[in-house]
Amino acid sequence: MKKFWILFGLLVIPSIAYIYLQTGKNSFKPLEVLGPIEIKSKTVDGRQVNDTVYHTISGFSLLNQDSVVVTESIFKNKIHIANFIFTTCGTICPKMSNEMMRVQHAFEKDTDVVIVSYTVDPEHDTPSVLKEYALNHKAIANKWFFLTGDKKNDI
């Protein structure tokens, strides 16, 4: 009888759990799309196809950790993985930066992938402060950029 209950537990309970999870209510909510949305039509293989064009971020000019002006053109045709930090943060920023170190290591040889950390505290996070932060996180030059600038983007 003991074997029966073990077999029952191994076969029936996971089956019931699977069915419950597959038919249960999904609480997924799609993220809200911010900014203007434009629908553009184009012809592909002789058929009219609609394409949704979402809001894009305009050009920028910021300083990196080496006090070099960086624009969005440096990331053209590259995959860029971005996060927002401030160097005096003692909670989530160090954790995010440590994860970015792992990403950097994973894509170290891939020249199509760059990492960008934007500061949200440009008054404190000057290029020299960001340089020290970059060194502490073993940032590879031209792979991981730490960017700062005037909040009005006037460099």
**For residues 29 and 77, what is the distance between their CA atoms, to the nearest angstrom?**
31
Q: Please report the pLDDT score of residue 125 as a whole number.
A: 96
Mean pLDDT of 1-11: 81
**Distance set, CA 146 to CA 52, 64, 105, 131 (Å):** 32, 5, 17, 8
Rounded to whole angstroms, the Cα distance separating 99 from 91 reads 14
Query: Among 27-31, 136-140, 145-149, whose mean pLDDT is lowest?
Result: 27-31
Mean pLDDT of 114-140: 95
pLDDT value at 58 more than 90: no
Give the start-to-end residue ranges of the domains of the chain: 61-147
Lowest model confidence (mean pLDDT) among 1-10, 78-87, 115-124, 125-134? 1-10
Reported as a pLDDT band with limits 50, 70 and 90, residue 140 is: very high
Reading the block at residue 129, the tokens are 């402060």
Q: What is the pLDDT of residue 153?
A: 55
| Whole-number pLDDT of residue 111 | 93
Mean pLDDT of the chain: 88
Integer Cα distance of 148 and 63 in angstroms: 5
Phi, psi of 69 (to 5 degrees): -70, 130
Tokens 């039509």 belong to which residue?
Answer: 41
Q: How far is CA 100 from the centre of its chain?
A: 10
pLDDT tens figures, 63-102: 999 999 999 998 889 998 999 999 999 899 899 999 999 9
* Architecture, CATH, for domain 61-147: 3-Layer(aba) Sandwich (3.40)
- Judge whether residue 55 has pLDDT over 80: no
Return the pLDDT at 155: 44
Query: 8 or 138, which is more confident?
Result: 138
**Residue 81 parent element (H or E):** strand 79-85
